[in-house]
Amino acid sequence: MGKSKTTKFKRPHFNSVGLPVSAVKEEEEEHDEESCPAGELLEKLQSPSADIREFACASISRVVQQSQTIPGFLQRDAVRRLGPMLLDGSLAVRETAAGALRNLSACGGQEVCEDMVKHDVMTPLTALLRECCSGFDSAAVPMKDQSNPVEDVANEAVNLLWNLCESSSQAVSLFNKSGLLDVVVQCLERHPHNVKLAISAAHCLHTVTEDNPELLSSTTTAVLGALEKLLLSSQPEMAHTLLRTLAAGTLWNLKTSLPAARQAQTLNAIVATLSLCLDLDSGVLIPDLRRAEEAHHRNASPVTDAEQQAAVQPVEEDMGEEEEAPTKKKNGKTLMVDTDVSDLLPRGKEELREATALLTAQQTSLEIIVNMCCSDDPSDDEWEEESSSDESDMGPDGFCDGASNLMSPLCLSAEVQGALIIHSIPEKVLKKTAFPRQEATNVCRENPSWRGLTKR
């Protein structure tokens, strides 16, 4: 728990679109992205106008993406001043404030996340999440193609929570003490209505259940039941494949909480889910998705230049600069550092979102398999000691005696080893070492908004 991570680049969902024209013009004339000082933006948070508070939060969200600006905000107590905005009377302000704090946590890295927790951001964040969950069903039903505003707020809040728990062990401890597990599971259960929110919640759960024994005692049958129900769902979309994969990883993290009578069945369902994910051929599916996107654009109604500039251009820039998702080691386990920006893609990018979800699901599946095959012992230091052993320790087979024992399949339980073999996991993992098909890599390179998938 409390994993350190590299900087993520997050483009905010929000901008000045939808605000009154007069308010936007006045603010943008006085404060552009380059000249707007932190102090003036933070002062705008006290404005009696909800539109101005929203604009200030959105501006902060953009500015903090430039990491060199973050110290200026922290020196001016930005976390304490943004925190109350999470409980503002305006839903739009709540969403943009959560987005600003989300970007601050993502672009600031581990030290900033720990500082945010010290400045008590978890208290208003916990209250916001509880209010969102209690208001899911009572929120006004959106029109077709419109999102539920309460779920939009919850999505930003869950992503902020995920970032904090990924970087701060204190945040994880507060997560446990505040009983946030049930709250995040409620967000997960919104998947029939809002798959984006559910994926954010699934990522958060997968992170916070890692090496968190304190949480095991509070894991209820309702929580396990929600994860198992999701694991056994059958929607064909790649977003749901990613959801099932993350549910599988979370259940593996919580395996000791499972009733003994269900452990074998759940283990088989986990490995079957990972196997089905690895069966998907991204070399075929990505070109298919790209062709579907082109057909969708040909059949879509024309959009204005302003709409294209607002929706398409920023994504092309972000996705084109996306870096390869890095990994790190913790307690001998492989951990993927998140760089996923799929939930920040605008509408009209469904096929790209699907392609991103596919690759993220397969990367996550491989990570989970590594962790299933890796004993909690030895630690990283013990691995280093074994790898640097003197040649005199070599046995007749050319392996150090200690390393040979560490790599023995006997470190796996018979149930895990059997499930991996029954579902042909070694063979499927080996196939994933092949370089992607040329058609798939060409598709990604040829289109600016798909270019970020190349390294994935």
Q: What confidence tens digit (pLDDT) does each residue in 328-360 have? A: 444 444 444 444 444 554 456 889 999 999 999
The pLDDT assigned to 123 comes to 97
What is the average per-residue pLDDT within 156-177? 96
CB 10 within 8 A of CB 106: yes
CB 207 within 8 A of CB 165: yes
The pLDDT assigned to 248 comes to 97
Q: How confident is the model at residue 165 (pLDDT cuts 50, 70, 90)?
A: very high
Burial 336-352 (b: 16+ CB within 10 A, else e): bebbbbbbbbeebbebb
Residue 227 burial class via C-beta count within 10 angstroms: exposed 0-12, middle 13-18, buried 19 and up = buried
**pLDDT tens-digit map of 205-252:** 999 999 999 999 889 999 999 999 999 998 999 999 999 999 999 999
The pLDDT assigned to 410 comes to 57
Which of the two residues, 265 and 397, has the higher pLDDT score?
265
Q: Whole-angstrom Cα distance, residue 159 to residue 156?
A: 5
Predicted TM-score (pTM) of this structure = 0.78
Residue 392: pLDDT over 70: no
Q: Tokens standing for 202?
A: 């699934």
Q: What is the DSSP track for 296-356? A: HHHHSPP--HHHHHHHHHHHHHHHHTPPPPPEEEETTEEEEPP---GGGSPTT-HHHHHHH
What is the average per-residue pLDDT within 263-284? 95
Per cent of the chain over pLDDT 70 is 72
The pLDDT assigned to 11 comes to 36
Position 99, amino acid:
G
Using CA of residue 166, residue 168, residue 172, residue 177, what is the dihedral sign?
negative
Residue 92: pLDDT over 60: yes
Q: How confident is the model at residue 118 (pLDDT cuts 50, 70, 90)?
A: very high
Q: Whole-angstrom Cα distance, residue 366 to residue 358?
A: 13
The pLDDT assigned to 297 comes to 80
Class of domain 1-164: mainly alpha
Mean pLDDT (the chain) is 80
